[in-house]
Amino acid sequence: MEVSNYWYFLSGLTLLSALMVVLSKNPIHSVLYLVFTFFCISGHYVLLNAQFLMAVNIIVYAGAIMVLFLFVIMMFDLKKNIPDSKTNLTKLAGTVVAGSVLVILVAAFRTIQYPTPDESTFNPNNGMVENLGKVLYSEYLLPFELVTVLFFVAMVGSVMLGKREVGDRNF
């Protein structure tokens, strides 16, 4: 089988599961479809020979962030907290916004010449962890360090928010 066939299959699966995230009524199902979407995206990374990104995507998004999402949603009483059904106006507004975004995206893709890599100079190992690390710690060192500071601030902030004073209520 050609690689492009894998690509079509994966893309279809990704789109389908992403649609199901939006369409499914049960929030738990939505979260699980989202996890599946992340898996499909990881599959795309594998096709791009970016194994490190694939693993990190699974560890960080599917393994940690979505677990927390699921964790929080599980605490809800889903029977009590069913979201109200949307009015026709909101449905219409949603359709218009989404449709115009789609039109703009298609138009943009049509005008932009998407550069295809030159086969003679392309290094298929670009996505490998060694190359990624070299680029990350030489060319992009400053942004990388800044991101760590950002993360640190976010972490301290969440600890401050989550900390309960003596006598406080949980929520």
Partner 1 sequence: MSQHIPSISNFSLSDPNKYSVENLRSEEMIISLGPQHPSTHGVLRLEVVSDGEVVVDVVPHLGFLHRCFEKHAESLPFNQIIPYVDRLDYLASMNCEHAYVMGVEKMLNLEGKLPKRIEYIRVLVAELNRIASHFVAIGTYGMDIGAYTPFLWLMRDREHIQRLLEWLSGARMLYNYIWVGGLFYDLPEGFEQKVAELVPLIKTTIKEVKTLVEENAIFIKRTANIGVLDRDLAISYGCTGPVLRGSGLAFDLRKVDAYSVYPELEFIVPTGKGLVGTVGDCWDRNHVRVLECEESLGIIEQCIDKLLGEHKRTPEFKPQEMVPKKIRPAAMDMYVRAENPKGELGFFIRTDGRSDIPQRLKVRACSFHHLSVLPTLSRGAYLADLVAIVGSLDLVMGEVDR
Partner 2 sequence: MEPTNTLFMAKAVIILVVFAITLGVAAYSTYFERKIAAFMQDRVGPDRAGPFGILQPLADAVKMFMKEDFIPSHANKWLFIMGPCLSMLTALMTSAVIPFGDTVTVAGVTFDLQGIDVNIGILWVFGIVSLGVYGILIGGWASNNKYALLGGIRAASQNISYELAMGLSIIAILMFSGSLSTKTIVEAQQNGHWNIFYQPLGFIIFIVCAFAECNRTPFDLPECETELIGGYHTEYSSMKLGFYLFAEYINMFISGAVMATLFFGGYDYPGYEFVANKLGETPAAFIGAGALIGKALFFVFVFMWVRWTLPRFRYDQLMNLGWTGLIPLSIYNVLVTGIGILSGQPIIAGIAGFVLLILGLIIYDQLTVKKKIA
Q: Which two tokens stand for residue 35?
A: 């996890």
Q: Is residue 114 a contact point for partner 1 (CB under 8 A)?
A: no
Cα separation of 69 and 154, whole Å? 18
DSSP state of 84: P
CB 66 within 8 A of CB 35: yes
170 binds partner 1 (CB under 8 A): yes
Helices (H), 24-120: 27-47, 51-56, 66-75, 88-111
Applying CB under 8 A, which part among 20-28, 39-47, 103-111, 163-171 lies near partner 1?
163-171
Name which of 14 and 27 has its Cβ closer to partner 2: 27
Residues in the chain: 171
For residue 67, state whether it binds partner 2 (rule: CB under 8 A): yes
Burial of 46 per CB tally in 10 Å (0-12, 13-18, 19+): middle
Q: Which stretch binds partner 1 (CB under 8 A): 11-19, 105-113, 118-126, 161-169?
A: 161-169
Minimal distance, residue 168 CB to partner 1, in Å: 8
Q: Is the separation of the CB atoms in 131 and 122 below 8 Å?
A: no
- The piece of 55-63, 82-90, 114-122, 136-144 that touches partner 2 (CB under 8 A) is 55-63
153 binds partner 2 (CB under 8 A): no
**Residue from 74, 96, 102, 141 in contact with partner 2 (CB under 8 A):** 74
* Count of C-beta atoms within a 10 Å radius of residue 72: 11
Binding site for partner 2 (CB under 8 A): 26, 28, 32, 35, 51-52, 54-56, 58-59, 62-64, 67-68, 70-71, 74, 128-130
Binding site for partner 1 (CB under 8 A): 166-167, 169-171
